Amino acid sequence: MTDSRCVIVGASHAGGQLAVSLRQQGWQGPILVIGEEPYLPYNRPPLSKTFLSGQKHVDDLMIRPHTQYEKVGIEFLLGQSVTSIDREQKKVILAEGDEISYEKLALATGARVRTLDLPGSDLEGMLYLRDISDVEKIRQYIGPGKKAVIVGGGYIGLETAAMLRQLNLEVSILESAERILNRVTAPELSAFYARVHKEEGVCIESSVNITEFAGDTHVSEVRCQDGNTYPADLVIVGIGVIPNIELAEAAGLKTDNGICVDSNCLTNDLDIVAAGDCTSHFNAFYNRHLRLECVQNAMDQAKVAATTLCGKPNQYNALPWFWSDQYDLKLQIAGLSHEYDELVIRGDPESGRKMAAFYYREGKMIAVDAVNSPQEFMIGKQIIARGLTVDKGKLSDPAVAMKSLINISQSGI
């Protein structure tokens, strides 16, 4: 395999990690990473936080310096998009017509923001947040006293709201569901976050049905079905993402709300792997197909995909985890809470800035949300991954140390 080339489509967390892991696992041939953005793989989580605030600059976001990739012979083709895959000839075709052959192909095409299609959606000042260029645009519109309306009360919306408040903007969050974080957490957590945001001066409106964005060339007002209007100097829309699966689909690869991969991150073409936000995999722990949108999944799947390509298949069975920083709140989440049937709360959600929620299904812990509670997160993660049983009375009592609930002597995640 000395001269065989691996082409990686996508140069974000998954694509970058895949390239590095290939070298670490002994891939001898050329490695080419093709990315649409003009940047080497960079850390996306700071985009809605320290990059938005200006504390971090573009160079600070890079996961690794270019010198490191050069040293190990990883090449990049940036600012280029792949328009099709010829699986018979084993080559990818670029937008400008160039063809690049591959021995093995990895798809790490990620996801793109879901856009709004309402009257006025294309006015100036209507913004999204996914890439460096999105945030650079947002930064042109922000300043103390400006009015920002955030559409969508998910993590991106809340993190952005928190940072804009800290930059002294007037911030409103409009959520279509009956509560913020509706899709991802228990009502107790939503109430906790709504309370903190209100304490910080953010206006949160739930069950809002937006009908129109008004303004001449620039958005100036958000109009809702109930007749309410919200003045706006800028609107940031954070209503989720759509996986980039069209390239795979057109090449005849199996997709289902994501590029279908097995536990080795292989697609239904044995020369093609996929990793990250664009994939759908069967998760044995949760007993269903999942498409995850998080750094952990991007990195872990990339590592498994790389070992598969190097002929040393490894199973992907990591427990998903996430984090979100807002104000002085550090939220750490392990597992997925969907379809929980019992909740154990530790701490007081109605006051202060610290609490944890443990989610159970059929008597088994499946997820933990821990706010400013690192031990609840760390121990919760072990309980879930190792399938341990703990006394729920003790778990709900903040006076009982988390560490006393389990034996941390065994590696299990």
Partner 1 sequence: MPVITYISADGAINEIEVGSGSSVMQGAVDNMIDGIVAECGGSCSCATCHCYVDEAWKDKIPAASEMEKDMLECVLEPQPNSRLSCQINVTDDLDGLVVRLPKSQF
Binding site for partner 1 (CB under 8 A): 20, 23-24, 43, 45-46, 63-65, 68, 72, 295-296, 299, 321, 323, 325, 330, 332, 372, 374-375, 378-379, 382, 402-403, 408, 411-413
Element holding 21 (H helix, E strand): helix 13-24
Which CB, 63 or 214, lies closer to partner 1? Answer: 63
Beta carbons of 282 and 289 less than 8 angstroms apart: yes
Q: Smallest distance from the beta carbon of 108 to partner 1, in angstroms?
A: 16
Q: Strand pairing of 355-361 and 364-371?
A: antiparallel
- Residue with structure tokens 């309410």? 228
Identify the DSSP state of 74: E
* Cα-based distances in Å from 371 to 24, 288, 330: 36, 27, 6
Q: Taking the complex as a whole, how short is the minimal distance between the CB of residue 379 and partner 1, in angstroms?
A: 6
- Shortest CB 44 distance to partner 1, Å: 9
Kindly state the smallest distance separating residue 142's Cβ from partner 1, in Å.
22
E strands present in 156-293: 170-174, 203-205, 210-214, 221-224, 229-231, 234-237, 241-243, 259-261, 272-274, 279-283, 288-290
Q: Which is nearer to partner 1, 141 or 322 (CB)?
A: 322
Question: Between residues 21 and 308, which has the closer beta carbon with respect to partner 1?
Answer: 21
Residue with Cβ nearer partner 1 (267 or 332)? 332
Q: Least distance in Å: CB of 50 to partner 1? A: 9
- Shortest distance, CB of residue 131 to partner 1, whole angstroms? 16
194 or 295: CB nearest partner 1: 295
HSE of 245, CA atoms in CB hemisphere, 13 A? 22
How near is the Cβ of 411 to partner 1 at its closest, in Å?
5
Nearer to partner 1, 49 or 179 (CB): 49
| Contact call for residues 86 and 62 (beta carbons, < 8 A) | no
Spell out the long-range contacts of 23-29 with Cβ–Cβ below 8 A and sequence spacing 24 or more: 23/72, 23/73, 23/74, 24/306, 25/306, 25/307, 25/309, 25/310, 25/312, 26/310, 27/1, 27/306, 27/309, 27/310, 28/1, 28/2, 29/1, 29/2, 29/3, 29/4, 29/5, 29/103
Q: At closest approach, how far in Å is the CB of 373 from partner 1?
A: 8
The pairing of strands 234-237 and 74-78 is unpaired
Q: How far is the CB of 24 from partner 1 (least distance, A)?
A: 6
Minimum CB distance to partner 1 smaller for 169 or for 299: 299
CB of 22 to partner 1, least distance (A): 11
Round to whole Å and give the CA distance between 344 and 100.
54
What distance in Å separates the CA atoms of residue 291 and residue 255, rounded to the nearest whole number? 11
Q: Which is nearer to partner 1, 64 or 91 (CB)?
A: 64
Pick between residue 65 and residue 352 the one whose CB is nearest to partner 1.
Answer: 65
| DSSP designation for 124 | B
What is the Cα–Cα distance from 353 to 306, expressed in whole angstroms? Answer: 41
Q: How many Cβ atoms from other residues are within 10 Å of residue 339's Cβ?
A: 11
Closest to partner 1 by CB, 217 or 409: 409
